[in-house]
Chains A and B, each alone.
Chain A
């Protein structure tokens, strides 16, 4: 391939490498433990900036002790490289802290279908109580009982639905 053709191709790739394209590509990076939702839908990706082939992504972990942080960082980087970026920087931003209010409505629906009762929106006014009523993701009943205040992860509690008699997990609001 001639130098000229390579230059044209690179220019084309740069033109395609827009912020929108990066946001779209990051939709394919899933939460490692909840593979039905993406890091964008979960509100983990906070900002994308593209400057002449150089891409900077800001992300905020859901929990500071999150074991998946490293994996998500690497997968985000990988996705951006695949778009033909010349440089990729993924920065972890801890403030403002992540809140479940950042989870999109579509993702809430997907969590529910996955068997996780989605967190209620609180608009910043959240009290961490362990007895918050949670609706059953299977039958929508509110007649449920909390069984374990911590489930497999810090962000989840285990409930039992007294109507359809099935255990389920609730994604805690915070």
Chain B
């Protein structure tokens, strides 16, 4: 639907009125191109993040300290794979194909959560990822559960329930560590120190620099701002980190009585951009792993296509049910 279309303005008005009434926009409904494009960008980025997010933790499955922890990690990584698949399907309802999305990821055109470009150096990192990274993701996704696009919002309701479980499991591990030996407390503090800032960056650019935000808020795709969600996360996490006898790696952090906020120091946005643009500690490794997986699956795609072709041409006998 082009803007030059004479009915565009009337359609846009009706579309915005639906959103203002709190109605959901469903696949097949009229929507402005920009709404469609922004949603494809967000949902596919989210899907890519789930898939790439399997890598840092997946590397620890074979090194889990016991069977119970192994089962938990295995299921968590499978959850992420399932969320990724589900979200790719949700993005497809907007007219983009799986092939296009994968191509965008593998060619580096599409982004994924930058936090996964940091390495998992010890087992304690899995605990912190569950608590911090899933915790931050839930903040964002709880908001997206109210977003105006039906399939995305409904997917988020279920995904949030699962992420909530991951966060609980991560927190339980952090508590265990913080009650452990001096060496274990040192390990968990080290993980807190390395993951705190990348986690805060997950909420995206500050409100005054976030280009997408205005339109996304008006169309009900986002209902809360980056800074608002980030502040809420900090306010919830800081007292809990302190309660466990751990510290936050921010010398400027202080509690502001008046606003009731934990005011955090300056986020290193230069680092953020470096990592987003591909120069983080693990960008190359993550993309290499994705490309290798894609190449190794090539024969399956070929076989499926050949089978479909044979079936179409009638060369295959009908399957007996």
Chain A residues within 8 Å of B, Cβ to Cβ: 32-35, 65-68, 70-71, 114-116, 138, 147-148, 150-154, 156, 158, 160, 164-167, 169
Query: What are 5 contact pairs spanning A and B, CB under 8 A?
Result: A33-B161, A147-B85, A150-B82, A167-B92, A167-B93
Residues of B within 8 A of A154 (CB): 78
Residues of B within 8 A of A147 (CB): 85, 89
Within 8 A of A (CB), among B228-279: none
Shortest 9 CB-CB distances between A and B: which pairs?
A152-B82, A167-B89, A67-B75, A165-B27, A151-B82, A152-B79, A67-B72, A32-B165, A67-B71
Indicate if B155 sits at the interface (CB-CB under 8 A): yes
Assembled-state Cα–Cα distance A150/B86 (Å): 11
Within 8 A of A (CB), among B155-189: 155, 157-159, 161-162, 164-165, 168-169
Residues of A within 8 A of B85 (CB): 147-148, 151, 158
B227 CB to nearest A CB, Å: 29
A70 CB to nearest B CB, Å: 6
Chain B residues within 8 Å of A, Cβ to Cβ: 26-28, 68, 71-72, 74-76, 78-83, 85-86, 89-90, 92-93, 150-151, 154-155, 157-159, 161-162, 164-165, 168-169
Q: Supply 19 further A-B pairs (C-beta < 8 A) apart from A152-B162, A169-B158.
A: A32-B165, A33-B162, A34-B161, A65-B71, A67-B72, A71-B168, A115-B157, A147-B89, A151-B85, A152-B78, A152-B80, A153-B75, A164-B26, A165-B27, A166-B150, A167-B86, A167-B90, A167-B151, A169-B86
Interface of B, helix, strand, loop or mixed by DSSP: helix
A66 CB to nearest B CB, Å: 8
Assembled-state Cα–Cα distance A115/B90 (Å): 13
Given contacts A151-B86, A167-B155, whether A65 and B79 have CB atoms under 8 Å apart is no
Residues of B within 8 A of A115 (CB): 154-155, 157-158
B316 CB to nearest A CB, Å: 16
Residues of A within 8 A of B78 (CB): 150, 152-154
A63 CB to nearest B CB, Å: 9
A160 CB to nearest B CB, Å: 6
Assembled-state Cα–Cα distance A32/B75 (Å): 13
Residues of A within 8 A of B86 (CB): 151-152, 158, 167, 169
Whether A35 pairs with B93 at a CB distance below 8 angstroms is no
Assembled-state Cα–Cα distance A148/B86 (Å): 9
Assembled-state Cα–Cα distance A3/B28 (Å): 72
Whether A153 pairs with B79 at a CB distance below 8 angstroms is yes
Name the CB-closest residue of B to A154. B78
Name the CB-closest residue of A to B94. A165
Assembled-state Cα–Cα distance A151/B158 (Å): 12
B318 CB to nearest A CB, Å: 15
A68 CB to nearest B CB, Å: 7
Residues of A within 8 A of B162 (CB): 33, 152
Assembled-state Cα–Cα distance A71/B28 (Å): 42
Name the CB-closest residue of A to B162. A33
Whether A160 pairs with B89 at a CB distance below 8 angstroms is yes
B154 CB to nearest A CB, Å: 5
Whether A156 pairs with B82 at a CB distance below 8 angstroms is yes
Residues of B within 8 A of A158 (CB): 82, 85-86, 89
Given contacts A114-B157, A148-B85, whether A65 and B75 have CB atoms under 8 Å apart is yes
Residues of B within 8 A of A152 (CB): 78-83, 86, 159, 162
Assembled-state Cα–Cα distance A67/B72 (Å): 5
B310 CB to nearest A CB, Å: 19
Residues of A within 8 A of B93 (CB): 165-167
Whether B82 pairs with A166 at a CB distance below 8 angstroms is no
B281 CB to nearest A CB, Å: 28
Name the CB-closest residue of A to B90. A167
Residues of B within 8 A of A32 (CB): 165, 168
Assembled-state Cα–Cα distance A147/B169 (Å): 29
Residues of B within 8 A of A65 (CB): 71, 74-75
Assembled-state Cα–Cα distance A35/B161 (Å): 7
Name the CB-closest residue of B to A74. B172
Assembled-state Cα–Cα distance A165/B26 (Å): 9
Residues of A within 8 A of B150 (CB): 166
